[in-house]
Amino acid sequence: MCVRGHLGFVLLLWFQGVLHVQTSDLPCSAPGLTDGYLVPEQETYDHEAKLTYACDDGHKPAVEGWWATSTCQNGTWSPEPQCIDEKACIAPDIPNAKYREKSGWYKAGDKIRITCNGGYDAKDHNATTTCINGIWSFVPVCEKSIEACGEPPQIPHAVIIHQGYQDFFAADTGVQYECEDGYTVEGADAKTKKYVYCIAGDWTEVPVCSKWGSGAGTGHGGSGGHDTSAGSGTQLEGRVNNCVKHPVVPNGDVVEKRGKFVRYQCAKFYELVGRERVECYSDGTWSTAPTCKASFCSVDTRHFSGFIDDGVKFIRDGGTVELECVKKRFQFNYHYSVGLCRNGNISFSKCCTALERTLNFC
């Protein structure tokens, strides 16, 4: 029984080894390469074997360079050898951007339109490029948006929750501060959390975390650092009690607090109506607060069958947006429509090429 048991254990180990070889070290058959040739040329290649290939006249590898290599990985070639027309273009590598990728290469005349990641804008607003005779007309660049913000200010006795560290944040994004145990946000009715938003390159007023029972609710600004201790203690106390709750402005934020005054700023795509500075009177009432009026149009390209899906676009009032059209009269030309935003409504032009617009044919 003991010998039989040992024999079974050995067979089990051998069987597992065979399975490992079969599933992890599979050889590769010679790749089927059209319009090119392989070196060395064999019927089969071992796992992790490498080959080099080049292409016939009028063609080139589907990667950078006039020759390329490929490696056998468990029965599959990586990358798969492929020869394409020499006038085709390899998919460009554009940091901090995304675009509709095809099979890694594009035919002559193909166009791509990039969308920059959050916090980035296309440099000089150039987001479209064309494949011309094997090279791109230019490579778009996504650069940091001037309306993005750097890292949120570090606040004593507070952390930022539900958000990993980032060097900078896109405009209109928000982060939430939370005070450590035993501390509360000043002027926030004993709350321990507060949202702060990135607006036009600056963070709105950051909180101040004070120890519970040590005077939290003093109402002075956290980011400005302005002195609110002027005057007698009685006057300060009365002002604090009366003016701590400033008016709430939908789609707006307090960007400055100085003594009895606060200053508001509207979020992106909203227009301030009224005075930006509001004053607190001695009886605890405030002067008339401004409002933030919507001053933009939005277009969800998923719901427009005539346009290629490019997500949701926001356009400032009086501004324009260029959208690529699905239907084209000329196969290799970029057809687009121009949308104009006026008073919250957007109207679109016909789908035309840039040349047609230049010649006033559209």
For 185, counting Cβ atoms within 10 Å of its Cβ (0-12 exposed, 13-18 middle, 19+ buried), the class is: buried
Query: What angle (nearest 5°) sits at the alpha carbon of residue 128, between those of residues 127 and 132?
Result: 145
Domains of the chain: 21-84 (2.10.70.10), 89-144 (2.10.70.10), 149-291 (2.10.70.10), 296-358 (no CATH)
Residue 69 CA to residue 187 CA, distance in Å, equals 65
Q: How many CA atoms lie within 13 A of 255 on its CB side?
A: 16
Query: What's residue 226's pLDDT?
Result: 34
For 341, counting Cβ atoms within 10 Å of its Cβ (0-12 exposed, 13-18 middle, 19+ buried), the class is: buried
- Cβ atoms < 10 Å from Cβ of 130: 18
pTM of the model: 0.44
Termini Cα distance of the chain: 92
Strand partners, 280: 286
Which residues have C-beta within 8 Å of that of residue 43, sequence separation ≥ 6?
Answer: 29, 30
Cα pseudo-dihedral 243, 247, 252, 253, rounded to 10: 20
Query: What's residue 23's pLDDT?
Result: 52
The pLDDT averaged over each successive group of 10 residues in the chain (362 residues) is: 48 48 76 92 92 94 90 92 92 88 85 88 87 89 84 90 84 88 74 83 85 50 35 32 74 79 83 89 86 86 83 85 82 83 89 83 75
Query: What's residue 173's pLDDT?
Result: 84
What is residue 303's DSSP assignment?
A: G
Query: What's residue 169's pLDDT?
Result: 87
Which residues have C-beta within 8 Å of that of residue 282, sequence separation ≥ 6?
Answer: 238, 239, 242
Query: What's residue 236's pLDDT?
Result: 29
Residue 265 CA to residue 255 CA, distance in Å, equals 6
Residue 110 CA to residue 185 CA, distance in Å, equals 55
Query: What's residue 214's pLDDT?
Result: 52
